[in-house]
Chains A and B, each alone.
Chain A
Amino acid sequence: MTVTQQTQSDSPAPQAASIYQPDLVVVESIVDETPDTRTFRLRFKDEAKAASFEFRAGQFGEYSVFGAGESTFCIASPPTRKGYIECTVKAAGKVTGQLREVDVGDVLGFRGPYGNVFPVDDWKGKNMVFIAGGIGLAPVRCVIWNVLDLRDQYGDVTIVYGARSVSDLVYKRELEEWAARADVKLVTTVDPGGETPDWTGEVGYVTPVVEKTAPSPDNAVAVLCGPPIVVKLTLPVLERLGFADDAIFTTLENRMKCGVGKCGRCNIGSVYVCKDGPVFTAAQIATLPQEF
């Protein structure tokens, strides 16, 4: 290095795009799931990127609304469906609020896929039990469709899904589709007071409904996602039903910024949820400090 001989201009050339620079994605379609929750289908603008992009169930991304910032969501569409990704977003903060204003054709940013995966290949031949609360159905939906798209490779499929009220249920058309299928057992529930006069599902919190549904632990894997309180209360129920702690999988939803194990926000003990997770077994959760 010959430092002094090198005269530098005041504005050095831009360097190559860093890991923090997203790919551009175009909004292909939008489904309004609930009054405050929307599902976006996104396609990479760059065709080569679109063709080469791969992910696996459980992974997440950092989604950009330029001018508002970035937010972390799971990829809610299954890896078995190529050419696009979907995310389901509840308006709660700055970026998610701005996503209310986004229209089809708008350009957003995406970084990912990040994080570890649900070991769906290891689950072939198993009975699948899916449990979700509220918008926690988004990561579970990815696995459900992954399994249903490869239906003959898996055993029984049971889905228990609950939301605060009927209007808070997401993926309503898919719920109807699953309810109509003979090879899926779907139990939906809403919190007491959240039912409508024509509601035919259960009324009650997710946890007691899981207990009542009593899915068999035999040759089964349980995938459980939802608000931290739902996960915390349902884990012991599954264990009481006989599910081994390494047969129960969940995702942790700690706040993130970078998604790549740098910014420190999602730390739980020595675990970076963004890199070592977001998928954890109940056995792994039990070894973590209870900071999620």
Chain B
Amino acid sequence: MSDTKKKKSASSKAATPVTDAAVAGTASTADGSVVAAQVADASEPLALGEARFLTSEALGWLVEGLAAAGTPAVAPAWAGDAGRAAGGVGDAPETEYRVVSGAAELALGERLPRLSLKQFFLPPTEVLFSYKRNGADIELTPAQAARDTVVLGARPCDVAALPIVDKVMNWDYADELWNARRAATTVFSLSCKVEDDSCFCSAVFLGPAALKGSDGRLTPVDGGYLVEAFTDKGAAFVAAHADAFADLPDASANSAQAEQFRAAARERVAGNLQVDHGRLRDWLDHHFDDPFWASLGPRCNGCGVCASVCPTCHCFDIVDEPESVGSGVRRRNWDTCQTCVFTLHASGHNPRGDQNARYRQRIEHKFLAYPLKFGDVLCTGCGRCSRACPTGQDMAEILTAIDARAAEDAS
């Protein structure tokens, strides 16, 4: 067991992957005791002896044990009582990420949760500090500290968003509230079966089993999950709950099955969208005034649901909320560049005065500005914006249309 731990710890040095593919070949270690494949791309065979087995039953105990110990465990769970049926969208009950306490709530690998994992790191609303008047003076009390939390079975697209958003939260000024939650949270992703035609993770440098942001990963196999740890945090969690994580019943067969699952998913998503990001960026950079943008605004209500469901959208508002004459809280709330008031000056002047400009901002920020500034596309291809849009804006369709124009320009 100690030998296993040592290897896991060593392997964690290589665990800041950008994509499945990017990891392959980079996972060499200082002492050479771990083969690269252990944390490598799913196309490589798994190193035997490193992965653990979490039975579906053990996952239930684990969640119940964590709840009993007071550690929030966030997992995909049935939304509403006994899995409320989704209204008009499909037959399968909806799911959501939430703090779970019982096995019956768990819905790993079922429908894509309605909201991304973002809410556990950047809550829809949070207290930044509270203020209290004391005579002429004012007393400020900072927000509460983050709690140790574990995430079990989040989609790789949701998990990959975390290190992407880390960048804006830490250039120059460090957002301690975000960072504290990141530091206090251990995240295990779940290799994804691919939801539907709106998924396009493979078109944004990720994949249905991408490791980006994951401390560990679960992959469905017969009877439960094959579990890998990629960081010290992930390995420590597995070690601390060794009773739940068993040896694989048949390491070779289990690994092969896990790889088969991931390969099938990769194949499933690959056809959904293909984009040449270099030429796409180049087109965006030179077509700020292109008539194309005027085709998007009229199809947008400016409701901003796309930003709410997006794992990477991070824009926020800061407002005061009085609780009495002399006291209250300052809050940070989710906001979106899609509303007409987002950039509105007090004078009435609005730099982005129409929905064409606001929709252009959404696309350009994600696929031009953020990559230029921070080196990452601000999109993980989860497809939630396309599924949620009441007017049928489809991100994959829009990117395809821009890419086609970019290809025309390039030729």
Contacts and interface: CB of A to CB of B under 8 A. Distances in A.
Interface in A93-147: 93, 96, 105-107, 109
Contacts of B140: 17, 21-22, 24, 109
Interface stretch (B81-89, B153-161, B271-279, B330-338): B330-338
A11 B127 CA distance: 14
Interface string B332-351: 10010100001111110101
Contacts of A21: 128-129, 140, 142
B346 A3 contact: no
Contacts of B69: 3-7
B237 interface: yes
Given A3-B237, A265-B337, 5 more contacts: A12-B144, A67-B322, A263-B316, A275-B172, A291-B352
A264 to B, nearest CB: 4
Contacts of B373: 270
A255 B343 contact: yes
Tell which of A8, A17, A70, A289 has the most Cβ of chain B within 10 Å: A289
Nearest to A97: B346
Tell which of A5, A21, A92 has the most Cβ of chain B within 10 Å: A21
A261 B140 CA distance: 23
Interface in A248-286: 253-255, 257-258, 260-265, 267-270, 275
Interface stretch (B173-181, B251-259, B399-407): B173-181
A228 interface: yes
7 contacts: A16-B176, A22-B140, A107-B137, A257-B316, A260-B173, A267-B337, A269-B369
A18 to B, nearest CB: 5
A92 B150 contact: no
Given A93-B346, A270-B369, A291-B357, A1 B233 contact: yes
B143 interface: yes
Tell which of B180, B240, B314 has the most Cβ of chain A within 10 Å: B240
Interface of A: 1-8, 11-22, 24, 64, 66-70, 90, 92-93, 96, 105-107, 109, 227-228, 253-255, 257-258, 260-265, 267-270, 275, 289, 291-292
Tell which of A21, A66, A96, A257 has the most Cβ of chain B within 10 Å: A66
Interface in B122-150: 128-129, 131, 133, 136-138, 140-148, 150
A20 B332 contact: yes
Contacts of B65: 4
Contacts of A4: 65-66, 69, 71, 240-241
Contacts of A105: 136
Contact of B365 (A8, A106, A253, A264): A264
Q: Give the size range of B's interface with the partner.
A: 35 or more
B346 A18 contact: no
Interface of B: 65-66, 69-71, 128-129, 131, 133, 136-138, 140-148, 150, 168-169, 171-177, 180, 186, 233, 236-237, 240-241, 288, 314-320, 322, 328, 330, 332, 335, 337, 342-347, 349, 351-352, 357, 361, 364-365, 368-370, 372-373
Tell which of A4, A8, A261 has the most Cβ of chain B within 10 Å: A4
A269 B240 contact: no
B177 to A, nearest CB: 5
Nearest to B130: A14
Contacts of A262: 168-169, 173, 175, 314, 316
A292 B351 contact: yes
Nearest to B173: A260
A188 to B, nearest CB: 22
A247 B235 CA distance: 57
A275 B330 CA distance: 23
A269 B351 CA distance: 12
A108 B88 CA distance: 51
Contact of B368 (A7, A17, A93, A270): A270
A16 B141 CA distance: 9
B128 A261 contact: no
Contacts of B320: 64, 66-70
A106 to B, nearest CB: 7
Q: 9 smallest A-B Cβ distances: which pairs?
A: A264-B315, A92-B346, A270-B369, A15-B145, A260-B173, A4-B69, A69-B320, A93-B346, A66-B131
Contact of A107 (B136, B233, B314): B136
Contact of A255 (B138, B172, B322, B344): B344
A11 B144 contact: yes
Contact of B148 (A8, A24, A253): A8
A202 B165 CA distance: 52
Contact of A261 (B142, B172, B349): B172
A3 B142 contact: no
A90 B345 CA distance: 12
B138 A24 contact: yes
Given A66-B138, A253-B345, A2 B177 contact: no
